[in-house]
C-alpha cells in the first residue's frame, strides 16, 4: 500500500557508483539527499506519453484519412498540452486490413499517410518543439503482401523459414487434410491458413492477412533488428512494441507436431480466442529474451551516436509474473516500461470503485521489481474510450490518478477532452475483429467506436478534415466535446488535463516523492505523494454516488490542518486556491480533487 520512492531509487543504484556516492555523502553530511546528478531521473521516467492513432488524428489533404502532415500541423497542440512524447500507431506501408498492424514494408511509409520526407519534416518539427516521437514496432507478423511473405511462399533461398509453416495433419476418419492444431486467432476462428501455392499451412495469430514471423529463424531476428536501427537513424526516440505475448510459440516435438490447446469453458463460442487456452501460443520465455535483445539494439545506438536514451515500451496483457520479467533481470536490462493495463483490465472485470482502483495499483506496484519505473495506461485504440468505460464523470479523476501516481503515464488521443465512443453500425464496421463476427455480436468485438476521428472543433467534420467524408463516422458528441470549445471554456476536461501535466512537470514531489494510497472507504480513494522540504500533494476521488465527509488523518496522521485546492474535476463546485480542513473534507459524488499542504 505504501511505496517509498526514495528507497526505490536507492535500491536501483546499489551499484559501485552509489556505494561511492554514499561514502562521499556520509563524509559531507546530507549532501547525497539534495545534490547528486546521478539521481536525476531520465526523461522517460516521469514522461507523459500521448498515443496518436494517425488515421484518426488530423487529415491534411481532404481525403478523410488522417496523415503525417496532419500530425505535424498539430504538434503545437501536443506541446501546449505539455506531453513529453507522442507514440504513433503504425504509419508503415500496409494494405490496411488491420489498419496498419499488417505491414507490407517495414522500411517505408504508407502512401495515404505521406512520404518519408513528410516523416522527416514531422521529426524535424518535433525536435524544434522538444517533443519526442516514438514509433509502433509490430514484430509478431507482417502483411501477407510483404515481399518476405511472397518469397517465403515461393521458398526462395533465405526466406524458406521466415514464417511458421506446417504440412498439417490428415484426419484418420475422413482422410482429409486439417490444420496442425486447434489454435485460434485473436480475430476469431482458426489460426492456420492453407496456402495453395506452397501447399502448407501458415500460422496467423491475428488476421489471415497477418502471417506470424518465425522468431526461431535467426535471419528474422536480425531483419527485425534492422527495422529498429533504420528508424532510430531517422531520429525516433524509441518504440512501442506491439503484441508481445504471441511472439513465440512452443517448439514442435521431435516429429514436428505442435500440441492442441484445451477448452477453457470461458465461452460457448468456439471461434472466440477465449474458447481455448493459450498455453502454447502466448507468454513463452523466449519472448522476454527477445525484448532484452531489442533493448541492446537501442542502448548500442545511444552508445555509438550519443543523444538521449531511446525507450522501449511493451504491449502485453499478460499476468504480472510474466509481464514484470520484461523490465529485465538482475544481469540484463529489458523494456523501460512494460505497459501497465491494470486500470483497464481490473475495472473491466470488477467495475470501478475505490477498492478496485487500489487493487489495480497494488497489482502493479507490489509485483514490480525494485528500482523499476511504474506506468499507468487508461486506454488505447483496442479498448472502449476511457470516458465511456469509467463514465464521463470520472475522466478527470482518472486523469488525476495517473498523473499523481509515480512514474510515467500514457494518454490515448481524446482522453484529454473526455471523448466518448462513436456508434458504428454493422454496415459501417471496418475493423477485422468486428467484420469476422456477425451483426448480432459485432459490438462485442469491433474496435471502431474508439477509433472515430479526433474532435478539434464543433464545426464541419469536427475540424478533422476539410473534405466531405471521414473514414469512420464521427462520434455524436463532437459539437460540445472538442478542443476548440474546451480551450475557450473557463473550465473543461482539457484545461484540467493541462493543469495536471503542468503540475507533474513542476512538482518535485510528483517526480520524486514517496507514495501512499488507500481506499479509505468503499467510495473514497486517496493518494498522497510527499518529499522532504516540498509540499505534499494529495488526490481524493469519490467513486460513489453520495457526498462523503472524510478525515484525512485516518489515512495519514500528518495530514492535519488546511489543504489548498490545486485542481478539481469539472463538475466540482469548489474553487481552486481555496483551503479546506483535512479533518473534515466533504467530497461530492464523482468529485475528484488535487490538494496541497501549501
Ligand atoms: C530525488 O530523490 C533522490 C533520492 O532521495 C535525490 O537524491 C534527488 O536529488 C531527488 N531529485 C529531485 C529532482 O528532487
Ligand atoms: C537474464 O536474462 C538473460 C537473457 O535472457 C539470461 O541469459 C540470464 O541468465 C538472465 N539472468 C538471470 C539472473 O536470470
Ligand atoms: C509525518 O512527518 C514526519 C516528519 O516529517 C515523518 O517523519 C513521518 O514519517 C510522517 N508520518 C507519516 C505517517 O507519513
Ligand atoms: C493496443 C494495440 O496496439 N493493439 C494491437 C495489438 O496487435 C494487433 C495486431 O498487430 C492489433 O490489431 C491491435 O490493434
Ligand atoms: Ca489524408
Ligand atoms: Ca508468433
CATH of the domain at 168: 3.90.400.10
Please count the other Cβ atoms lying within 10 Å of the Cβ belonging to residue 222: 9
pLDDT mean over 530-552: 97
Atom 14 (ligand 4): residue with closest C-alpha?
Answer: 382
| Tens digit of each residue's pLDDT (9 = 90 or more) over 106-161 | 999 999 999 999 999 999 999 999 999 999 999 999 999 999 999 999 999 999 99
Q: Residue 444 domain-assigned?
A: no
Residues 369 and 330 in one domain: yes
Distance between CA atoms of residues 378 and 279, nearest Å: 27
Per the domain annotation, does 210 fall within a domain? no
Asked whether residue 37 is domain-assigned, the answer is: no
Ligand nearest the Cα atom of residue 87: 4
Task: Tell me: do 516 and 580 sit in the same domain.
Answer: yes
- Mean pLDDT to the nearest integer, 402-419: 98
Q: What is the DSSP string of 13-43?
A: TTTHHHHHHHHHHHHTTTHHHH--GGGSPPG
Cell numbers at residue 6, please? Answer: 526514495
Q: Which ligand is nearest to the CA of 453?
A: 5
Based on the domain organization, do 463 and 544 belong to the same domain?
no
Range(s) of the domain holding residue 575: 509-597
* Residue 20 in this model has a pLDDT that exceeds 90: no
Which residues, by Cβ under 5 Å, contact ligand 5, an ion? 59, 61, 63, 65, 67
How far does Cα 121 stand from its chain's mean position? 25
The residues assigned a catalytic role are: 242, 315
Q: What's the CATH number where 283 sits?
A: 3.20.20.80
Give the ligand with the smallest distance to the CA of 432: 4
Between CA 331 and CA 333, with CA 516 as vertex, the angle to 5 degrees is 15
Q: Which residues line ligand 1 (CB under 6 A)?
A: 6, 9, 33-34, 36, 39, 508, 511-512
Burial of 369 (0-12, 13-18, 19+ CB in 10 A): middle
Q: Which three cell numbers stand for residue 320?
A: 504480472
- 540 shares a domain with 518: yes
Whether 440 is in a domain gets the answer: no
Query: What is the total count of domains within the chain?
Result: 3
pLDDT tens for residues 350-398? Answer: 999 999 999 999 999 999 999 999 999 999 999 999 999 999 999 999 9
- SS3 at position 187: coil
Helix (H) or strand (E) holding 12: helix 5-12
> Residue 495: is it exposed, middle or buried by C-beta count within 10 angstroms (0-12/13-18/19+)?
middle
Q: Are residues 222 and 192 in the same domain?
A: no
Does 413 fall in a domain?
yes
Return the C-alpha torsion angle 388, 394, 396, 402, nearest 10.
-90
Could you tell me the CATH number of the domain that includes residue 521?
2.60.40.1180
Residue of 129, 159, 156 whose CA lies nearest to 142: 159
Cα torsion angle, 282, 284, 288, 290, sign:
negative
Provide the grid cell at 80.
501546449
Q: What share of residues in the chain are helix, strand, coil (percent, to 5)?
A: 35, 20, 50
Cα 466 to ligand 5 centroid, rounded to whole Å: 10
Are residue 248 and residue 357 in the same domain, yes or no? Answer: yes
| CA–CA separation, 587 and 549 (whole Å) | 6
Say yes or no: 77 and 161 in one domain: no
Say if 333 falls within a structural domain.
yes
Whether residues 370 and 391 share a domain: the answer is yes
Query: What pLDDT shows up at residue 578?
Result: 97
Q: Is 72 within 8 Å of 122 (Cβ atoms)?
A: yes
> In this structure, is residue 530 part of a structural domain?
yes
Give ligand 4 pocket residues (Cβ under 6 A): 98, 101, 138, 206, 242-243, 315, 380-382
196 and 324 in a common domain:
no
Instruction: Check whether residue 128 and residue 156 sit in a common domain.
Output: no
Same domain? For 171 and 319 the reply is: no
pLDDT band of 201, cuts 50, 70, 90: very high
Largest interatomic CA distance in the chain: 83
Query: Rounded to whole angstroms, what are the CA distances from 213 to 143, 202, 218, 249, 547?
Result: 10, 10, 11, 11, 55
In 3D, which of 50, 112, 94, 74 has the Cα closest to residue 464?
74
Q: Work out the average pLDDT over 88-101.
A: 98
Residues whose beta carbons lie less than 5 angstroms from ion ligand 6:
140, 212, 246
Same domain, 123 and 245: yes
Domain presence at residue 496: no
Amino acid at each position: 500500500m505504501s511505496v517509498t520512492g526514495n528507497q526505490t531509487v536507492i535500491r536501483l543504484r546499489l551499484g559501485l557508483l552509489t556505494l561511492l556516492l554514499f561514502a562521499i555523502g556520509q563524509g559531507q553530511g546530507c549532501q547525497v539527499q539534495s545534490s547528486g546528478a546521478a539521481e536525476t531521473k531520465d526523461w522517460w521516467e516521469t514522461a507523459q506519453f500521448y498515443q496518436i492513432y494517425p488515421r484518426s488524428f488530423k487529415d491534411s489533404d481532404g481525403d478523410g484519412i488522417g496523415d503525417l502532415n496532419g500530425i505535424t500541423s498539430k504538434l503545437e497542440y501536443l506541446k501546449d498540452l505539455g506531453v513529453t512524447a507522442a507514440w504513433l500507431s503504425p504509419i508503415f506501408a500496409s494494405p490496411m486490413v488491420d489498419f496498419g498492424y499488417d505491414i507490407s514494408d517495414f522500411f517505408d511509409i504508407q502512401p495515404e499517410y505521406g512520404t518519408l520526407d513528410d516523416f522527416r519534416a514531422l521529426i524535424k518539427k518535433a525536435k524544434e518543439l522538444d517533443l519526442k516521437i516514438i514509433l509502433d514496432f509490430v514484430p509478431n507478423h507482417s502483411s501477407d503482401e510483404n515481399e518476405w511473405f511472397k518469397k517465403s511462399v515461393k521458398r526462395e533461398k533465405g526466406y524458406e523459414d521466415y514464417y511458421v509453416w506446417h504440412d498439417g495433419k490428415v484426419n484418420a476418419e475422413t482422410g482429409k487434410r486439417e490444420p496442425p492444431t486447434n489454435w485460434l486467432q485473436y480475430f476469431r476462428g482458426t489460426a492456420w491458413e492453407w496456402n495453395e501455392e506452397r501447399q502448407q499451412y501458415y500460422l496467423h495469430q491475428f488476421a489471415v492477412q497477418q502471417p506470424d514471423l518465425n522468431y526461431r529463424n535467426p535471419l528474422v531476428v536480425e531483419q527485425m533488428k534492422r527495422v529498429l536501427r533504420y528508424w532510430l537513424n531517422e531520429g525516433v526516440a524509441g518504440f512501442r512494441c506491439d503484441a508481445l505475448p504471441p511472439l513465440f510459440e512452443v517448439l514442435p516435438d521431435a516429429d514436428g507436431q505442435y500440441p492442441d490447446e484445451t477448452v477453457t469453458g470461458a465461452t460457448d463460442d468456439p471461434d472466440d480466442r477465449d474458447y481455448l487456452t493459450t498455453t502454447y501460443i502466448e507468454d513463452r520465455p523466449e519472448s522476454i529474451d527477445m525484448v532484452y535483445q531489442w533493448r541492446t539494439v537501442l542502448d548500442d545506438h545511444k552508445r555509438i551516436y550519443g543523444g538521449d536514451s531511446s525507450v522501449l515500451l511493451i504491449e502485453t496483457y499478460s499476468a504480472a509474473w510474466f509481464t514484470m520479467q520484461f523490465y529485465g533481470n538482475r544481469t540484463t536490462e529489458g523494456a523501460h516500461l512494460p505497459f501497465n493495463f491494470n486500470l483497464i483490465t481490473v475495472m473491466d472485470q470488477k467495475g470501478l470503485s475505490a477498492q478496485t482502483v487500489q487493487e489495480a495499483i497494488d497489482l502493479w506496484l507490489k509485483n514490480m521489481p525494485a528500482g523499476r519505473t511504474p506506468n499507468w495506461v487508461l486506454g488505447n485504440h483496442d479498448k472502449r474510450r476511457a470516458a465511456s468505460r469509467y463514465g464521463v464523470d470520472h475522466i478527470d479523476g482518472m486523469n488525476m490518478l495517473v498523473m499523481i501516481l509515480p512514474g510515467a503515464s500514457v494518454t490515448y488521443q481524446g482522453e484529454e477532452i473526455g471523448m466518448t465512443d462513436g456508434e458504428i453500425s454493422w454496415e459501417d464496421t471496418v475493423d477485422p475483429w468486428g467484420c469476422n463476427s456477425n451483426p448480432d455480436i459485432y459490438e462485442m468485438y469491433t474496435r471502431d467506436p474508439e477509433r472515430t476521428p479526433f474532435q478539434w472543433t464543433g464545426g464541419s467534420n469536427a475540424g478533422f478534415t476539410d473534405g466531405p467524408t471521414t473514414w469512420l463516422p464521427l462520434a455524436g458528441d463532437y459539437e460540445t466535446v472538442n478542443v476548440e470549445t474546451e480551450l475557450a471554456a473557463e473550465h473543461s476536461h482539457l484545461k484540467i488535463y493541462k493543469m495536471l501535466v503542468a503540475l507533474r512537470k513542476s512538482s518535485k514531489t510528483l517526480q520524486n516523492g514517496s507514495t501512499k494510497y488507500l481506499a479509505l472507504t468503499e467510495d473514497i480513494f486517496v493518494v498522497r505523494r510527499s518529499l522532504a522540504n516540498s509540499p505534499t500533494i494529495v488526490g481524493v476521488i469519490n467513486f460513489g454516488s453520495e457526498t462523503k465527509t472524510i478525515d484525512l488523518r485516518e489515512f495519514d496522521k500528518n495530514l492535519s490542518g488546511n489543504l489548498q485546492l490545486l485542481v478539481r474535476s469539472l463538475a466540482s463546485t469548489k474553487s481552486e486556491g481555496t483551503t479546506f480542513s483535512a479533518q473534515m473534507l466533504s467530497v461530492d459524488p464523482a468529485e475528484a480533487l488535487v490538494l496541497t499542504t501549501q
